[in-house]
């Protein structure tokens, strides 16, 4: 399982940066290059209000279908609801098949963009349910 997020206004510490590098080594250079191209499409899918942004979530193929992804999403939703500076959770996906899954989990599409030829990205936002806020 992989989960990596940013809190509103947080600075990344050295330990977090080291952990992120370790994850990139596991995922490989092709995945990292795709992620870096996302930066160019980001303005089309960005959520501007304070939120926890889920940068990365992944479940190993052998572990799929066991509810682990939902459990990770529940954990980040709880973290956001408890964070007084956050209004919800944002994330992106470059896999069209993921779009209905995130919508099923309460996410709304806030943007769609082209990263490179044949590669698209969708931006999502899920407001904290306990606050009733739906700022974007």
Interval 28-55: pLDDT, tens: 888 887 777 766 666 677 787 888 888 7
- 19 domain residue, yes or no: yes
Predicted model pTM: 0.67
- 133 domain residue, yes or no: no
pLDDT at position 125 is: 95
Mean of the pLDDT values across residues 91-111? 92
Calpha distance 68→46 (Å, rounded): 26
- 135 domain residue, yes or no: no
The CA-atom distances, in angstroms, between 79 and each of 72, 85, 112 are: 11, 11, 26
Q: How confident is the model at residue 106 (pLDDT cuts 50, 70, 90)?
A: very high
Mean of the pLDDT values across residues 77-104? 92
> Would you call 120 helix, strand, or coil by DSSP?
strand
Task: Give the CATH number of the domain where residue 17 resides.
Answer: 3.40.630.30
- 132 domain residue, yes or no: no
pLDDT at 103 over 70: yes
- 88 domain residue, yes or no: yes
Contact call for residues 104 and 78 (beta carbons, < 8 A) = no
- 136 domain residue, yes or no: no
Calpha distance 89→105 (Å, rounded): 11
Quote the domain boundaries for residue 87.
Answer: 2-127
Number of Cβ within 10 Å of residue 116's Cβ equals: 12
- 134 domain residue, yes or no: no
Domain count, the chain: 1
What DSSP line would sit under 13-61, residue for residue?
Answer: PHHHHHHHHHHHHHH-HHHHHHHHHHHHHHHHH---SS-EEEEEEE--G
- 119 domain residue, yes or no: yes
């Amino acid at each position: 399982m992989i989960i990596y997020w940013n809190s509103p206004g947080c600075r990344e510490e050295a330990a977090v940066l080291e952990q992120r590098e370790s994850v990139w080594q596991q995922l490989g250079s092709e995945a990292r290059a795709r992620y870096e191209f996302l930066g160019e499409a980001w303005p089309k899918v960005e959520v501007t209000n304070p939120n926890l942004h889920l940068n990365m979530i992944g479940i190993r193929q052998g572990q799929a279908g066991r509810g682990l992804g939902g459990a990770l999403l529940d954990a980040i939703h709880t973290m956001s609801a408890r964070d007084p500076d956050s209004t919800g959770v944002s994330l992106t996906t470059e896999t069209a098949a993921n779009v209905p899954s995130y919508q099923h989990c309460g996410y709304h599409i806030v943007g769609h963009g082209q990263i490179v030829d044949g590669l698209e990205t969708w931006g999502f936002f899920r407001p904290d349910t306990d606050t009733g806020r739906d700022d974007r």
